[in-house]
Structure 1
Amino acid sequence: MTARTGQRGAGVPLLVIATAQLMLVLDDSIVNIALPSIQRDLDVTAVHLPWVVNAYILAFGALLLLGGRIGDLWGRRGALQAGIAIFVAASFAGGLAQTTGLLVAARAVQGLGAALAAPNALALIATTFADRATRDKALALYGAMSGLGIVVGLLLGGVLTDTLGWRWVFFINVPIGLLVLLGSRTLVAADRHRGRLGALGAALGTGGMVALVYAITRLGEDGFTDPVALVLLAAAAVLLAAFVLTQARSASPLLPLGLFRDRNRSGAYATMLLLAVGPMGTFYVITLYLQQVQQLSPLQAGLAWLPFALGLVIGAGAAPKLLVRLAPRHVATAGALLSAAAAFWFSTIGVETGYWTHLAPAMLVLGLGFGLGVMALTQAAVYRVEPDKAGIASALLNTAQQIGVALGLAVLAAVAATITAAPANAALGAEAGLVAGYSTALVVASALLVLAGLVALTTLSGRATTEPAATDPAAPVG
């Protein structure tokens, strides 16, 4: 196996991993800004329009476990390259699409490519960077891109749609993806590991995740009484239960259940799910508030989130230094509680809340908390994992985050809509009613983030992470 990269040769690999993650995450939000233009140009019905976004989220979230395991068995660098190539081809097809069906299909294939690329980009950090300092820097960049991608997507989507047209929100991925493919040759390929993918396990796991993510998506659109969503939740429960049973008996499981025996790692997954619910749900609610109550344009709303991006960079940058001295438990708990405080701060909005005195400081604190939390949880989830399980361990963390994002959007959107529609709030007028709904949803987000802090405090390691005395150069140490 090729020797791992030290600090001197780390520049290009760092840039490749950061750019790959940024490109994949920003596609969660970049298309949102272009939806009105897409609807007009392709004559998309209101029923089908959400699927331009949901097809990507559904395929991405549902196929992450499969993508991570493929990397473990068949090589992570090759899986990353295949994923980026699929993503680029689907982006080009999406930009050329002349019908709604072709566009939605292209978005689903983009999600497939992202599911192959994202967990293997994270796992490759362990095999590419030899020393703790460089590896922590790579993890910090990866974590920062997970949040920055949302903001960059809003900004870039607004600029491209206003200047070159909506098709360029897809075409922009082509040159970026090709550069990532070119640079990916500098990443150190991990060894392939013995084992089979397992057709039954793959079918049950993928089917269960598709049903779960689709159910969550429908709950956000149609509320908690949607019968289709409830049936899908029941189907997801049955399929995932059967999946766990088959994995427990399999000699070569898609999901090695032994990963969950580590309380620290299981706690990291649970905390990540809740942490993603809060900030990403808050992001959704406040973006609606900026546009529907304060009447900002989509591009202005994207620019308004720059303090969040600043806080995220500060948090992700400070976390590696803190984690050398403090336990992941303390850093993740602090991140969750900072995010909770920001969400509660947001919940006090009114119809004419000031940006610089109220919104911008809360955005900064939210980004700071999310940056600290994501970095601590990423380290807890992927450090000290056996080399043949690094891809699936990374995929589980990505899956927790994707489900958390979908769940956050669904829960907070449903809460906001329910409270806004209440007769007492409807009588206040349109804007005041919206603010009442948004405020209640943000209180719920704050409570979920406090719960994330409690989970982190009670499950994560109480000792600072140090380099183990391992001799295997492929081991993801930390």
Structure 2
Amino acid sequence: MLAAVAIAQFMFALDMAVVNVALPAIRTALDFAPADLAWVVHIYALTFGGFLLLGGRAGDLFGRRRLFVAGLVVFGLASLAGGLAQAPWELVTARAVQGAAAAAAAPAALAMLTTTFAEGPARVRALGIWGGVNAAGGALGVLAGGVLTEYANWRWVMLINIPIVLAALALAAVGVPAGGRDSRRRPDVLGAVLATGGTGLLVLGVVRTDRYAWTSATTLGTLAAAFVLLAAFVLVEARFAKAPLVRLGLLRSRWVAGANAFVFLVAAGQFAAFYFVSLYMQQVLHMGAAETGLAFLPFSFGVIAGTIVATRLGATRSPRTSLIAGGALGAAGMAWFAAMSPTGGFLTDVLGPSILASLGIGLCLAPVAAAATTGVPPHEAGMASGVLNSSRQLGGAIGLAALSTIAAHHTGSDLSPAGLNGGYALGVLIGAGLLVVAALLALVVFPRARRTPATGDGLPAEERESQAA
């Protein structure tokens, strides 16, 4: 079961990054309009982020194994369709379906881990593997995209998912128990519509700031509509929903609320830094696509090393320890990145910061997932997983869009290596500041001792009575 979940999570993270390096080749092959090319990336983030809350709760109600397998099958079919696309709309549609399928399977995967492995060392080890492959997928996506585009064909950045899907399905068939479903409860349809529409519009408004200014009527109108829908969603969940998509009482836990705020800040800084460093290597240091991908390998190894350390610490210490240390180390690595020079090189400006920042990120991945599910009753594990994944996606999308706008404004019309370098350095430095805030939040918000597992908090009345008896 752990292998099936790890392989699937690797693939979902891989697809967040694998197409980035292939975009120039995709534009030429399918005759994309320059303004429309970014939608190959944005639409995946939009549907993934928009459907995560719904996917997380649907797994609780209809069975996590069922949703996990269905999500994998749809993801594989969408990857095949994208690899065979002959027109821009076909590829964009395939990417949209990929995002929705990942939103169904990813929360179910994390919920299966947290309900299979009890709180404590066993869960920390399982989440360590999950976190390691999650980060490795994102980092290796850049490498795979560069190598496949340069030495094969851009279509393979989509088709590479098919053997991964088949491997995950084969493991799920023998390793994931069927599980049950809560047939007594009907899904919160109104909450699902409001949450999906609100988060979707929020991501849409943010990612389109590369075309529409933050102060434009289009951006402000989209964000205002998103906040109206999300406010209505909170009202429905608090007052009317019998099986809420997100039980608001869940967020009263310092562990759950703190973990989601922490991951939002870290994702905002990390996604932006990843983007700026990739552009720095290609547009300032003039490294090729495959060379840039290889340059991210030390980052992958650093994340794995950080995850191993976090797993060992988690056996005896609260997640708080790793989160404080990880946030501080990640911030230090990104601040070092911000010293990048237009006359620098990989060894002097990329390798050292990559190792330091990746160790910090690795220290955070498993502990933040452990913190977000600490004290959560098993029947709400999918809910908690969906909220955590949504926080990560929203943080990454908002952070990347906001810092990209700031960097572009700083660069202005100076597109020389020195001008671009200044904008990238500023964006990475602000990202480092976000990780400093995350480390301080972990220091202040998280309890020093891990809470014992919940024994009925949030359960239906008849289940609480059963436990009491």
The bucket for the TM-score relative to the shorter chain is over 0.9
Shift of 1:468: 7.9
- Unmatched tracts of structure 1, length 5 or more: 1-12, 473-478
Shift of 1:223: 3.8
Aligned counterparts, 1:55-454, within 5 A: 55-129=43-117, 132-185=120-173, 186-193=175-182, 194-249=184-239, 250-421=241-412, 426=414, 430-454=416-440
Paired AA for residue 288 in structure 2 = S
Q: Distance in 1 between matches of 2:118 and 2:398?
A: 36
Q: Do the aligned partners of residues 131 and 251 (structure 1) sit closer, same or farther apart at CA in structure 2, a change above 3 Å counting?
A: closer
Shift of 1:130: 6.0
Paired AA for residue 125 in structure 2 = K
Paired AA for residue 376 in structure 1 = P
Residue 20 (structure 1) aligns with: 8
Q: Distance in 1 between matches of 2:406 and 2:196?
A: 29
Residue 446 (structure 2) aligns with: 460
Mapped contact 1:128–1:188 kept (Cα < 8 A): no
Shift of 1:440: 1.5
Q: Distance in 1 between matches of 2:367 and 2:208?
A: 32
Q: Distance in 1 between matches of 2:127 and 2:62?
A: 23
Secondary structure at the aligned position of 1:32 is classed as: coil
Shift of 1:129: 3.8
Shift of 1:122: 0.6
Paired AA for residue 230 in structure 2 = L
Q: Distance in 2 between matches of 1:409 and 1:314?
A: 26
Paired AA for residue 236 in structure 1 = A
- Please report the TM-score for the alignment, with normalisation by the length of structure 2: 0.93
| CA offsets 1:246-274 (integer angstroms, 9 cap, x no match) | 00012221111111011111000000000
| CA offsets 1:6-47 (integer angstroms, 9 cap, x no match) | xxxxxxx22211110000111011111211111111111112
Mapped contact 1:220–1:411 kept (Cα < 8 A): no
Greater Cα shift, 357-366 or 74-83: 357-366
Secondary structure at the aligned position of 2:350 is classed as: helix
Residue 462 (structure 2) aligns with: none
Residue 8 (structure 1) aligns with: none
The total of aligned residue pairs comes to 454
Greater Cα shift, 18-27 or 128-137: 128-137
Q: Do the aligned partners of residues 238 and 453 (structure 1) sit closer, same or farther apart at CA in structure 2, a change above 3 Å counting?
A: same
Paired AA for residue 168 in structure 1 = W
Q: Distance in 2 between matches of 1:138 and 1:59?
A: 27
Mapped contact 2:376–2:453 kept (Cα < 8 A): no
Greater Cα shift, 429-438 or 47-56: 429-438
Q: Do the aligned partners of residues 244 and 464 (structure 1) sit closer, same or farther apart at CA in structure 2, a change above 3 Å counting?
A: closer
Shift of 1:464: 4.4
Q: Distance in 2 between matches of 1:358 and 1:325?
A: 36
Shift of 1:356: 2.1
Q: Distance in 1 between matches of 2:309 and 2:334?
A: 21
Shift of 1:229: 1.6
After superposing on structure 2, the runs of 4+ consecutive aligned residues of structure 1 that deviate more than 6 Å are 465-470
